[in-house]
Amino acid sequence: MPYAEVTADPLDPARLLARVGSPENGAVLLFLGTVRNHADGRSVSGMRYEGYEEMALDVLRRIAEEASERFSTPNLAVTHRLGALDIGEVSVVVAVSSPHRAEAYGASRYVMEEIKRRLPVWKKEFYVEGAPQWVRGTVPPADGSPAPDSGAGDP
């Protein structure tokens, strides 16, 4: 069963890695999204993540389940952070293991692409100079359905 979590607490990648390991799986893949110090040529000092928490957890669970089904990777875990983050802090973790590497790469990519498409989370960027701004986002699909081909491709 895949695992999904939305939390205001700092993320612990090792804890997620520990959830997905399995003696049957020779490939273990860890993706971290972190807050970077620049955007569109401006110096960024931090980021504040806001979520529609109840729905975000629901959507993230569904995304994790879809990835597990599409790529036959039940050993998958994803967490998304909310709240105020400093530069370099981890905002999202995807851990997945599979017998061979192709499925793990595909599933991890799928989870990230679908998070960008439809997870009800927003971020406000804070700059070294000037007023903070909401990061320009993606209009989610009206019915919330997964992409027929999210760009992740077949395993």
Partner 1 sequence: MRVQARFFAAYRELTGASRADVDLPEGATVADLIDTLREQGPSFGALPPKPAVAVNLQYAPPETGLRDGDEVAFIPPVAGG
Which residues contact partner 1 (rule: CB under 8 A)? 33, 49-52, 54-56, 58, 80, 91-92, 112, 115-124, 134-144
DSSP string, 18-81: HHH--TT-SEEEEEEEE--SEETTEEEEEEEEEE-HHHHHHHHHHHHHHHHHHHT---EEEEEE
- For 109, phi and psi rounded to 5 degrees? -65, -45
Q: Which is nearer to partner 1, 91 or 150 (CB)?
A: 91
Question: Which amino acid appears at position 55 of this protein?
Answer: M
- The least distance separating partner 1 from the CB of residue 5, rounded to whole angstroms, comes to 13
Amino acid at 18: A
**Residue 18 or residue 135: which is nearer to partner 1 going by CB?**
135
Between CA 20 and CA 28, with CA 24 as vertex, the angle to 5 degrees is 40
Q: Which is nearer to partner 1, 74 or 80 (CB)?
A: 80
Q: Which is nearer to partner 1, 21 or 151 (CB)?
A: 151
Cβ 75 to partner 1, closest distance in Å?
Answer: 22
Least Å from the CB of residue 134 to partner 1: 5
